[in-house]
Amino acid sequence: MAPHKNTSPAGRHRDVRPQPTAANGGEPDGEVCRQVLRILALIGDKWSILVIGQLRDQTLRFSELHRAVTGISQRMLTLTLRQLERDGLLTRTVHPSVPPRVDYTLTPLGTTLLDSVVALGEWATTHRQEINNNRRRYDATHPSRTQH
């Protein structure tokens, strides 16, 4: 996202290319993982999922999304929508009226993605407590850095 371009630092999981370590046969990492990384590059940012989630079963206009997605700035909403539109996950429809009106709707592709993502959400729901317990135990067991 953001004024496009990404060379390395702070760029999360973008730049997903073969990159065969040196001159080996290739596939030093799992192929599956690289595929997953591709998705994270699509919707692994701070807002995409929230936006897609809002459009799950309804069409919304810009201002409605702005209100629905808690805390998003106008700028990030625009950037996020453009990215999702580019990838074909949603469509942008401009109604030539005054004042202007722009509707956003999930495409079939976007819908299938959301469905897949929801599966992950279920994993989270199921194991949320377990993870919290693990963390508490770890922080208690490892006197080291408890974040001063």
Partner DNA sequence: CGGTATCCAGCCTGATACTG
Partner DNA sequence: CAGTATCAGGCTGGATACCG
Asked if 99 touches DNA (CB under 7 A), the answer is yes
Q: Which of 18, 88, 100, 121 binds DNA (CB under 7 A)?
A: 100
Residues that bind a copy of itself (CB under 8 A): 4-5, 10-13, 19-21, 28-30, 32-33, 35-40, 42, 44-46, 49-50, 53-54, 56, 67-71, 85-88, 109, 112-113, 116-125, 127-128, 130-131, 133-135, 138-139, 145, 147
Q: Residue 120: in which H helix or E strand, if any?
A: helix 108-141
> Rounded to an integer, what distance in angstroms lies between the CA atom of residue 80 and that of residue 86?
10
Asked if 74 touches DNA (CB under 7 A), the answer is yes
Asked if 5 touches DNA (CB under 7 A), the answer is yes
- Cα-Cα-Cα-Cα torsion 68, 72, 73, 74, nearest 10 degrees, comes to -40
Q: Which of 24, 57, 62, 106 binds DNA (CB under 7 A)?
A: 62
Q: Check: CB of residue 48 under 8 Å from CB of residue 104.
A: no
> Rounded to an integer, what distance in angstroms lies between the CA atom of residue 140 and that of residue 144?
9
